[in-house]
Amino acid sequence: MKQLIVIDMQKDFIDGALGNAGAKHAIPYVAEAIKNAERPVVFTRDTHFENYVETLEGKKLPVPHCIEGTPGHEIVPELLNATTTTPIIIDKITFGYTGWKEIFGLADDIDEFVIMGTVNPICPIANAILLRAAYPNKKITVDYAGCGFMADGNGDETFCRDATKYVLTMQQIDVINWENVMLDINTVKLSELPELKEAFNSDARNQKFSDLENQWNTNKNNELVDEDEIASYVDSNQSYWEDYFYGESYWVNPSYEDKDPSTIHSQLGCRYVGDENHYITIFYDKATNEVVCWSMDID
Ligand SMILES: [Zn+2]
């Protein structure tokens, strides 16, 4: 029988302090797997306490999240509601859980562990590798269709997908459904994000985005518009945040320009519009959907 393990699908990792668009996108897929599970599903919860910022994790990642007793610590209800038998819920205080043998014993009636959850490359792969250490002869599969991914410093989620896949494969852990997992996130067209257009709250700026998107769709396999032309899309009245996110310059929504980016970083979501070589990075406020800042990366 297969044993499904769902890693850290908690509110703070979906749309809370460390929300992840890929993990949110994966919820229906994970829910379906939970409904069809052959054994009681095991959920893990990342678990921190009020002293989070004083811990080593908190010093390296100063964004309080998954604090025990807060709503952000809870597993998203769509997944708990999908269970057909009482699940096993494990609170773990760091990325990996070291007690798998206490949960599964010899695991005689388990043929395969299937892992989904968020966020790669942190907790799903940490636990896959710990399971490999505990059960050297069991098949272990990480299903990327049920996982969230974190971009690298260049905003490249494809890199995360490929790097984690390589590490897992070398640990003799199977990775499935990885081929298309990024597409739904990275090829979103601006026209499919009306709430962002709406949030931009400026007809002129929306027109610039539309024009740019049209240029993209027309030219994406050719040389794109030249830099002067791109510069003409940039409203000279907007201010910049220099080099804050990923070492790039961002054009800032005027209502955010007085804020220190570091103080609002944890409330920002990020979307990419375009293809691999040409894209706009858009940061938006997860609470209001308002576009906070954006940059263009045009080769
Ligand atoms: Zn944590």
Q: Find the 62 Cα to ligand 1 centroid distance in Å.
A: 10
Q: Whole-model pTM above 0.75?
A: no
Q: Find the 78 Cα to ligand 1 centroid distance in Å.
A: 21
CATH homologous superfamily of 2-185 equals Isochorismatase-like (3.40.50.850)
Q: Find the 233 Cα to ligand 1 centroid distance in Å.
A: 40
130-145: per-residue pLDDT in tens? Answer: 999 999 999 999 999 9
Q: Find the 37 Cα to ligand 1 centroid distance in Å.
A: 27
39-58: per-residue pLDDT in tens? Answer: 999 999 999 999 998 999 98
Q: Find the 41 Cα to ligand 1 centroid distance in Å.
A: 21
Q: Find the 43 Cα to ligand 1 centroid distance in Å.
A: 15
Lowest mean pLDDT segment, chosen from 3-7, 105-109, 211-215, 247-251: 211-215
Instruction: Check residue 50 and give its pLDDT.
Output: 92
254-269: per-residue pLDDT in tens? Answer: 777 777 766 676 677 6
Instruction: Check residue 239 and give its pLDDT.
Output: 53
Instruction: Check residue 212 and give its pLDDT.
Output: 56
User: If DSSP states are collapsed to H, E and C, what string results for the chain?
Assistant: CEEEEEECCEHHHHCCCCCCHHHHHHHHHHHHHHHCCCCCCEEEEECECCCHHHCHHHHHCCCCCCECCCHHHCECHHHHCCCCCCCEEEEECCCCCCCHHHHHCCCCCCCEEEEEEEEECCHHHHHHHHHHHHCCCCEEEEEEEEEEECCCCCCCHHHHHHHHHHHHHHCCCEEECCCCCCHHHHCCCHHHCHHHHHHHCCHHHHHHHHHHHHHHHHHCCCCCCCHHHHHCCCCCCCEEECCCCCCCCEEECHHHCCCCHHHHHHHEEEEEEECCCEEEEEEEECCCCCEEEEEEEEC
Pairing between strand 42-46 and 2-7?
Answer: parallel
pLDDT reading at 227 higher than 50 = no
Higher pLDDT, 25 or 75: 75
| Torsion sign over Cα 269, 187, 126, 104 | positive
Q: In this prediction, what percent of the chain has a pLDDT beyond 90?
A: 46
Q: Find the 53 Cα to ligand 1 centroid distance in Å.
A: 11
Return the domain boundaries, the chain.
2-185, 187-298
84-127: per-residue pLDDT in tens? Answer: 999 999 999 999 999 999 999 999 999 999 999 999 999 999 99
Q: Find the 217 Cα to ligand 1 centroid distance in Å.
A: 40
Q: Find the 59 Cα to ligand 1 centroid distance in Å.
A: 11
Band (pLDDT 50/70/90 cuts) for residue 147 is very high
